[in-house]
Amino acid sequence: MSEGIGTGPGRALVAVYGLFALAAGARATVQIVRSFDEAPLAYALSAFAAAVYVVLTVALAVSARRTALAACLIELTGVLVVGTLSMLDPEAFPRATVWSGYGSGYLFIPLILPVVGLFWLLRRRPG
């Protein structure tokens, strides 16, 4: 039987996604409570990113491979779409999201993380 996706080096992914779930969730909560009307799209996207990170953390921890794969693909798509739109039309994002500028506010980790996650998940295929 193969090891779970959240074991070995996969534990690092669980930890990083857990940290990002906490950071993005706290950021989104503060933004929404304090000034949602200033940038509702940006703040809603930060909350969505936090939710994706929560799903990924749990999916990796319990070895829910399909859920983790789907969430990684959603995350990568979100980073690429929001990152591109935030660069092409900065006025549409008057405040940064977790995924703005391809995650530049988080050292581009939101861009790198789903690639690493997908690599890990595809490398750890069962059987």
Q: How many CA atoms lie within 13 A of 106 on its CB side?
A: 24
* Mean pLDDT of the chain, nearest integer: 92
- pTM of the entire predicted model: 0.91
Quick one: pLDDT at residue 92? 83
Q: What's the pLDDT score for residue 124?
A: 79
Over residues 4-61, the pLDDT tens digits come to 888 888 899 999 999 999 999 999 999 999 999 998 998 999 999 999 999 999 999 9
pLDDT at 57: 97
- Is the pLDDT reported for residue 2 higher than 80? no
